[in-house]
Structure 1
Amino acid sequence: MADPLTEQMVSEARANNPAALRSVYEALAPAVLGYLRSKGCDDPEALAQEVFLTVFAKLAAVRGGAAGLRTFTFSVAHARMVDDLRRRERRPVTVPYDRLADTRYTNSAETAVLESTLAAELLLEGLTAQQREVLLLRVVADLSLEDSAAVMGKTANSVKQLQRRALIALKERIAEKEAEERHVQLPQ
């Protein structure tokens, strides 16, 4: 898969070319938004906007071309996610139940679970926080080992080991779920 973020695009964005800045945003925003959503941020769209405001303000200082910009962008996204988490821990928000806003009645239970992030969360719940972080950075954000290591403040080898252990744990968890489903579906 070709990287939508090109060296020329980054170079032109550093020169404050509006079209290039838009192209950088369009190349990176979906992955940043996916990362922030998967981390459970309250308002991932607003946080993504904050990320790009910071990135564009510091674009001239970013080194390493397209790869450096991608790493810097996800470092900023990670920092905003941590800030959001800390803010929510200080001031938890409670929302009253609104029956009219509850959309669960439209889908069957199976469809709702399969289509929701709950299914992914259930698969990931057996993993450590660092293993989940590695999978999100490597799969959702599509970062390399080195870029993921830079975001997490670890070595590439430790990220590789975390990813390997996470994938083994996921494989075992999926096998257990499939075995449970086969056992439940057997006629008695």
Structure 2
Amino acid sequence: MDATELGDAVALARGGDEVAFGVVYREVHPMLLGYLRGLIGDDADDIASETWHDIVRDLGSFRGDGSGFRGWAATIARHRALDHVRRGRVRPRTTVLDEHVAEPATARDSEGVALENLSTERALALIAELPRDQAEAVLLRVVLGLNGPMAAKVLGKRPGAVRTASHRGLVRLSERLKGAEEK
């Protein structure tokens, strides 16, 4: 979906159109979740939920197009992730979460889903090994599809710094992948 189509769906969602909100959610959520997984790992689903709560709460005040919405959503997600990290330092988790949660049945091909999940997990694991500024820049530029100025706004940096960090991160990832193929 291009920025214009997303912007149109966001405008309809702001007006209360639930179907349009569903379109916005299905378009943005997977990329937002990938970004959060790269930032905070296993707690990404919880933080994504908090992020969407804030998006729904403040959607009426959002003004902008589809690209602006992606940036706005990424900024909210980043703030929630940073809050989560700070909370973890103050109150470490003391209980183990049950990992055996029933998964809903899907109509998708199980093998394809498994391969997609493995490749996504591998990519996010490689990105997580990058220096933080490079990892965030790659996540915002590649996973969320933000342009340099929008990613810079999310990170509070200059666009050139974000483009440089993204480029360096992608070069490092490329080198790691070439090294893995040679083994």
Q: TM-score range by the shorter chain?
A: 0.7 to 0.9
Structure 2: unaligned runs, 5 residues or longer: 101-114
Instruction: State which structure, 1 or 2, has the greater radius of gyration over its C-alpha atoms.
Output: 1
Aligned to 2:81: 81
Q: Are 1:143 and 2:146 counterparts?
A: yes
State the Cα distance separating 1:160 from its structure 2 match: 0.8
Measured on the aligned residues, the alpha-carbon RMSD in Å equals 3.1
Aligned to 2:110: none
When residues 127 and 60 of structure 1 are mapped into structure 2, their CA distance, relative to the original with a 3 A threshold, is: same
Conserved 8 A contact 2:33-2:48: yes
Instruction: Give the match's secondary structure for 1:75.
Output: helix
| Aligned-partner residue type, residue 133 of structure 1 | E
When residues 177 and 46 of structure 1 are mapped into structure 2, their CA distance, relative to the original with a 3 A threshold, is: closer
* Larger RCO: 1 or 2 (CA < 8 Å, sep 6+): 2
Aligned to 1:67: 67
TM-score by length of 2: 0.76
User: How many Å separate the matches in 2 of 1:145 and 1:132?
Assistant: 14
Structure 1: unaligned runs, 5 residues or longer: 102-111, 182-188
Aligned to 1:185: none
Conserved 8 A contact 1:138-1:144: yes
Aligned pair partner of 2:167 in 158, 164, 181: 164
When residues 178 and 142 of structure 1 are mapped into structure 2, their CA distance, relative to the original with a 3 A threshold, is: same
State the Cα distance separating 1:12 from its structure 2 match: 1.1
Aligned residues: 169
Instruction: Give the match's secondary structure for 1:133.
Output: helix
Aligned to 1:31: 31
Identity over aligned residues, as a percent? Answer: 33
